[in-house]
Amino acid sequence: MIKEKDDFSDKPNRLAALDLALLLGRIDRRTFIRLCVSAGMSAASATVIAAESSAAFSNQLERARSLESRYDYIICGAGSSGCVVASRLAADPRVKVLLLEAGGSDEAPGLVDPGIWFTNIGSPTDWDYRSEPTEALNQRSVVVPMGRALGGGSSINAMVWARGHKNDFEFWAKESGDRNWGYDHVLSIYKRIENWQGTPDPARRGTGGVVWIEQLKDPSPVATMAQKAAARIGIPAFDDMNGEMMECEGGSAMPNVIIKEGRRHNMFSAYLRPMLTRPNLTVLSGAFVSKVLLRGDDADGIEFKWRDQLHRIQAGKLVLSMGAINTAKVLMLSGIGDQNALKKSEISSHHHLPGVGENYQDHPIVEGCIWEYKTPLAPRNNAAEWTFFWKSRQELAEPDLQPFLLEIPVAGERMHKLYRMPENGFVIAPGLVRPRSRGTVQLRSSDPKASPLVQPNFLQHPDDIEALTRGVELCREIGNSAEMRDLVKQEVSPGAVSKAEVATLLRNAAESYGHSTGTCRMGTDKMSVVDSNLAVHGLKNLYVADGSIMPRVTTGNTMAPCVIIGERMAEILTS
């Protein structure tokens, strides 16, 4: 919470927090201007921003005080997809739009400061989910990050804008039977929405759009040396990770990031912030959705708790955008899912749809390849300044590996028990972006407040072990290379070990990339949940628009593809 006595003179990233505090009514205009000026902003600029934020706050306060009994559209979840859908729909002044978000936003530094994004995990801005113990991970339970804030995952993640490989969208088009999910159309959307600040590429990149995307500025020597080491072993370096590199067999690059003027620029800022003065858009934070209201085969509205009161509001059309875990959970709480599973949770089956909660996918990342610095290097930018995409087997159609450089010596609980973690070091963490393993999301009980049962089944498929074993080999070759020698004091983990010992390392060190997807799969078969228009099979006026609709998880970080899903949903609803 912002306090008048706080000193912001050495905290430029807190300007964004001040703006949000004013927008949410937590400080008044006069206090905002005084604190902004003390942080180095001109009085004129602070006054202009204060007027805009005050107008947005006043409008949203009035909208909340006069909730209507029916809206043309209700969107549940203000994440990377939901912000897009709400913004695009509210552009039409003839329709009334209600956006519900369980989280809010506070002034947690990790929401604005790119360098400490990892402090968001397990904080009040994260749902703080953990998986069930997983057999292939030696019965470990892993943290499964999910954003609980305006902006969703785009507010708590590492800010990496990774479009996905060309083949990802070709697969989606094939599974859905709709070419509008294919690469050509998806590329046209990316070019329309991006405000790309990096090397021009008119064939692939857009400028002037709503999403500000930068190349990293002045990356750490450990990132530049890792890229040189990778090139020496045959992994080509690219200037742009979202250009030609996502159409070919792989390469390495510094990631694109949603950082503007040194601060996170999440999808709330990109899409929703400019719309908050509109009289036809109501945004409720702290609104906990419990179920879809059904009348026969018609989704009639939504039930949610807000300010300690239960509300039921009707909708012309209802869009669930709460992420792969919570969207599946709310569908099941509403009696939509596998009838036998619902019966076990003492929920009456309203609509038998066996694919709900199935096909769960996430990218496992192995925090197990760790080095100690000779001389400590402070993390820069988002503290994750280099990545590469590569094939574990040459015959694959696209890369299945995405290791990431982490400029802090991060590791899970089991690894801390097995190895002495250095005070100063870095990790080159093997990541698997084409996992063969599939998991589930199920209800723990019929209580909406109960966290769901998330079973990712990480490393269950033997191909995943084989691929990540190759990933460990590549990461060790880079980390122990001549290029890295001046930076590295010693390899902490895993060292020269056998293939069997690498498999043990994987089971002890694999964690979640935070890319939960797939539980409401788009397709045409009986296990799919939505069709190519993102409409729930067999029900009217009910749609899903978030990462849960992915038939197969994309190659890389999933924020950008979730924005595409939101854009496609808006296209469908407004066409």
Q: Which residues are catalytic?
A: 515
Backbone dihedral angles phi then psi of residue 276, each to the nearest 5 degrees: -70, -10
- What distance in Å separates the CA atoms of residue 397 and residue 395, rounded to the nearest whole number? 7
Is the distance from CB of 282 to CB of 311 less than 8 angstroms?
no
CB atoms within 10 A of CB 94: 6
- C-alpha 194/C-alpha 258 separation (Å) is 10
Whether 156 and 145 have beta carbons less than 8 Å apart is answered as yes
Q: Reduced to 3 states, what is the DSSP secondary structure of residue 537?
A: coil
**Tokens at 193, concatenated:** 């929405």
Residues sharing a CB contact under 8 Å with residue 135, sequence separation 6 or more, in sequence order: 460
User: What span, in angstroms and rounded, lies between the C-alpha atoms of 101 and 480?
Assistant: 46
How many alpha carbons lie under 13 Å from residue 2 in its C-beta half-sphere? 27
d(CA 405, CA 385): 6
Tokens of 95: 């329709």
C-alpha–C-alpha distance, residues 232 and 236, integer Å:
8
**Among the listed residues 64, 31, 153, 167, the one whose alpha carbon sits nearest the alpha carbon of residue 103:** 153
- For 251-263, b where at least 16 C-beta lie within 10 A, e where not — what string? bbbbbbbbbbeeb
Query: Which pair of tokens denotes residue 347?
Result: 């929920």
Residue pair 222/487 in contact (Cβ under 8 Å)? The answer is yes
Instruction: Give the H/E segment covering residue 488.
Output: strand 488-493
Q: Output the DSSP codes for 251-267.
A: EEEPPEE-EETTEE--H
